[in-house]
Structure 1
C-alpha cells in the first residue's frame, strides 16, 4: 500500500522535473541560437565586404576566386579532422575557440599594415573557412545532447531559422555598411559578432563532443586502427542504410547550389543592367521567407505528431528545390519567379532539417565524423562547381548551366529515393 502510494506520488514529481529540464534546455538552446545568428550575420556580412575589399585591394577578379578557393579548401580540411577533434575535446570548447579564432583573425586584418594586407586576407580566408566548418559540425552533432533526441527537429529548425534571418540581414546590409562607414568599421562589426557568439557559448553548459556516449571519451575500436579519421568516418556512413548515398547527394546538391549562386548575378544583369542587385536581393529575401516558413511548419508538425520528416523528406525536398532553382532562370514573370523562389526556400529548409536530423540519429561516437565528412563533401561539391560553372557561364546561358547542375542533383535524388523505398 505504502509502496503503491509512493510510486503514485513520485510520478508527478518526475514528470514535472522532466518538463522543467526540457524548458531549461530549450531556453539555453534559444540563447545559443541567438548568438549563432549574430555570428552568422557576421559571416554573411564578410562574404560581401571581404570580396569587395579583395577586389578593391588587388584590382583582379582572379584574386576573389583565389580567396574563395582558400576558404573552401580550409573548410574541406576542417571537415576531415573535426570528427577526431570532437572525440578529444568538448563541443563547447570547439565552438568557443572557433569564434575566438574568427574574431582574432579579423583583428589581425584590421591592424595589418598595407604591405601585409594581402597575406592577412589569405589568413582570414583560411581561418574563417576552417572555423566556420568546425563550429557548424560541433553544433549540429551535439544537438541531441543539448535538447534531447525528441527535440532534434525543433532545434534544427530553430537554428536554420536564425541563420536564414542572419543571411538576409547580412547580404542586405553589407553594401550599406561598407558605403556608409567603410571597410574598417565593417570588419570591426564583423569581429564583434564573433565575440558575442563566443561569450554566448562560454556562458552556457553545452553538452556533446569529447567522445560523447563512450567511456570517458575513450576512442572506439575504429579510431584505434589506421589513419585517425578515415575508419570512423566511413564506418559512420555504413551505420545506416542509404546514408552514404545521402551524403553523396548532399555533395551533388552543393554542386548545384554553386550554379545558381554564380548565375544569379548574370541573370539579374540581363533583367536590369542598371541595377542588377535589386533582383538578387529580392530573390534571396523571398527565398529566406520560404525557408523560415518551412521551419515554422516543421516545428508545428513535429510538436503535434512527434515525428521528423525523415530521409524521404530529404530526397523529395531536393527534387523540388532543384526543380525550382532551374525554373527560376526560365524567364517567367517576376510574380511567378517570386513564387518559385518561395518554393525553393521552403524545399531547401525541408531538406536541411531532414538531412541534419537523420545524421543526428547516429551514435554520438560516429555523429561528429559523419557531419565532418558531410562538410567535406559539401565544400568539395561547391568548390568544384564554382570552377566548372564559372567556365560554363562564359559559353552557355544561366538557364542551361543551372539546368544541368541541378539536373544532376535531381538524378541522384531519384536514385536515393528508389534506394530508400526499396
Structure 2
C-alpha cells in the first residue's frame, strides 16, 4: 500500500501519544484549576478561557497556515504546549492564577492550530485516494488515546500529583514534535519536505490550485469567486451540522457523571470507564467497515447526516437506564456512529482544494468548539432542573433534526442537478458526459479544482 504507509502510521502513533497526554490533562487540569481558584465558578472560567482561545484560533488558523507551512505550525504548537506544561509542572505547588490562564490559552489555541494543520495536510501526505483510510487510522488512534488518558488520570495524579501529570503531558507533546521533525512529512503542495508516502516529494497527491493551475484566474477575480463558491451551500451546512453535533455531544459529556452515580453509586468511575471503552470499540469497528466499504475513498453529506442521526439516537438510548448489556451495546453503536461521522466529515472537507482546506478546517474548529462550549453551559444549567434523559434527548434531538434538514437539502440539490443534466442531454441530443450519478455527484459539490476531477466518490 503506497498511501497509509509505515511513516504515516509512525506519525499517527506520535500524535496518539500527544492525544493521550491531552485527555489525561483534561481531568488533571480541571482538578488543578479547582485547587488554584477554590471554586466551581473558577473552574468554569478557566475552561471557558481555554475554549475561547480555541475558537479564536480557529478563525485565524487558515491565515496562519497560509503564511507558514503546516509542518511548521504543527511543530511550533507542540513545542509551545510542551513549554506551557513544563511551566505548570515546575510551579504545580504554587501556581499563580495568571500563569494557569496563560497556560490554558496556549493549550486551547495550540490544540486547534495543530489539528487544523494536520487534518488539512492529510491529502498531501497520503494522497486523495487514501485520505479516508488515513482518517480512519487517526480516529482509531485518538479513540484509544482517549480511553487510556481518562482511565490513567486518576492513578497518575494519585501516585505523582499534578506535577507528574503535567510532566507526562509535556513529554507527550515533545514526542509529537520530535516525530514531525524526524519524519519531515510533506504537508504542503509547495513544501520542500518529502511526502510521507513519497520520500522524493514528487507525488502530486491530487491537489491543484483553485484557479485551475494557470495562476492567472486569481488576478481576474477568480480567487475571490472560488473561495465564495467553495464555502457555499452544503459545505457550510455540513460545518453547521458539525457544530450542532458538538453542542449535542456536550450534553452527554456533562450528564454522564450523573448517570454513572445514579446507576452505580459505589463505583461511578467503573461505569464511565466501561462506557468509554465500549465507545472506543465502536470507533474501531467504524474504521474497519468504512475501509472495506469505501475502498479508501470518502463518502458524502448523506453518510454524515445519517451517521449523526444514528449517533444521537444511540446516546439517547444509553440514558434510558438500560441493563448493562444493552448499555454496552448502545455505547458501541454510539462509538461506531461517532467514528463513522468523524471519518466521513473529515474526508469530505479534505476533498476541497489545498489552499481552501485550512480555512475550512479552521471554520470547522470554530464551529465545533463554540458548539461544545455553548452546549456545556446550557446542559449544565438544564441539568439543575431536568433529568439527564430529558436534557440529552433535547440536545441530541436538535442534532438529529439538523441532520434531517441536511438530508433534505442534499436530496433537493441532487434532484435539481439530475433535472438540469436531463434537460441538457435532451437539448444537445447526446449524453452529458460531465455528470455523474448517485453518490458520485455528492462529493464533487464545491470541490472542483479545474480540469481534473478529484478522486473518490
Shorter-chain TM band: 0.7 to 0.9
- Aligned counterparts of 1:263 and 1:210: Cα–Cα separation in 2: 44
What's the offset of the Cα at 1:292? 1.1
- Aligned counterparts of 2:188 and 2:377: Cα–Cα separation in 1: 35
- Aligned counterparts of 1:163 and 1:108: Cα–Cα separation in 2: 26
- Helix, strand or coil at the partner of 1:297: helix
- Aligned counterparts of 1:415 and 1:67: Cα–Cα separation in 2: 35
Q: Residue 250 of structure 2 contacts residue 372 of structure 2 at CA under 8 Å; is this kept in 1?
A: yes
> What corresponds to 2:258 in structure 1?
266
> What corresponds to 1:359 in structure 2?
349
> What corresponds to 1:132 in structure 2?
111
Judged with a 3 Å threshold, the aligned counterparts in structure 2 of structure 1 residues 57 and 142 are, in CA distance, closer, same or farther, namely same
What's the offset of the Cα at 1:272? 2.1
Among 238, 247, 259, the residue aligned to 2:239 = 247
Q: Which moved more, 1:400-409 or 1:201-210?
A: 201-210
> What corresponds to 1:296 in structure 2?
288
Among 186, 190, 214, the residue aligned to 1:207 = 186
Among 67, 84, 100, the residue aligned to 1:88 = 67
What's the offset of the Cα at 1:109? 1.3
> What corresponds to 2:85 in structure 1?
106
- Aligned counterparts of 1:211 and 1:128: Cα–Cα separation in 2: 29
Judged with a 3 Å threshold, the aligned counterparts in structure 2 of structure 1 residues 404 and 194 are, in CA distance, closer, same or farther, namely same
Q: Residue 87 of structure 1 contacts residue 211 of structure 1 at CA under 8 Å; is this kept in 2?
A: no
What's the offset of the Cα at 1:121? 1.4
- Aligned counterparts of 1:174 and 1:121: Cα–Cα separation in 2: 19
- Aligned counterparts of 2:382 and 2:17: Cα–Cα separation in 1: 36
Among 58, 67, 71, the residue aligned to 2:50 = 71
Q: Deviation digits for residues 318-376 of structure 1, max 9, x if unmatched?
A: 00001111111111111101100000000000000000000011001111000000100
> Aligned residues, how many?
392
RMSD: 2.4
- Taking the TM superposition and a 5 Å limit, the aligned residue runs for 1:118-129 are 118-129=97-108
> What corresponds to 1:398 in structure 2?
388
Unaligned runs of 5+ in 2: 192-207, 413-457
- Helix, strand or coil at the partner of 2:319: coil
- Aligned counterparts of 1:136 and 1:307: Cα–Cα separation in 2: 21
Among 127, 130, 155, the residue aligned to 2:134 = 155
Q: Deviation digits for residues 86-124 of structure 1, max 9, x if unmatched?
A: 111111000001100110001111233855432221112
> What corresponds to 2:312 in structure 1?
322
- Aligned counterparts of 1:267 and 1:160: Cα–Cα separation in 2: 26
Q: Residue 58 of structure 2 contacts residue 112 of structure 2 at CA under 8 Å; is this kept in 1?
A: yes
> What corresponds to 1:389 in structure 2?
379
Unaligned runs of 5+ in 1: 1-18
Among 27, 39, 46, the residue aligned to 1:48 = 27
Q: Residue 133 of structure 2 contacts residue 297 of structure 2 at CA under 8 Å; is this kept in 1?
A: no
- Aligned counterparts of 1:70 and 1:220: Cα–Cα separation in 2: 42
- Aligned counterparts of 1:219 and 1:119: Cα–Cα separation in 2: 50
What's the offset of the Cα at 1:233? 7.1
Judged with a 3 Å threshold, the aligned counterparts in structure 2 of structure 1 residues 231 and 186 are, in CA distance, closer, same or farther, namely farther
What's the offset of the Cα at 1:302? 3.2
What's the offset of the Cα at 1:289? 0.6
Q: Which moved more, 1:179-188 or 1:270-279?
A: 270-279
What's the offset of the Cα at 1:268? 1.0
Among 2, 20, 26, the residue aligned to 2:5 = 26
**TM-score, length-scaled by structure 1:** 0.88
Q: Residue 299 of structure 2 contacts residue 348 of structure 2 at CA under 8 Å; is this kept in 1?
A: no
- Aligned counterparts of 1:231 and 1:42: Cα–Cα separation in 2: 42
Q: Deviation digits for residues 44-65 of structure 1, max 9, x if unmatched?
A: 0100111111123333111221
- Aligned counterparts of 1:234 and 1:164: Cα–Cα separation in 2: 34
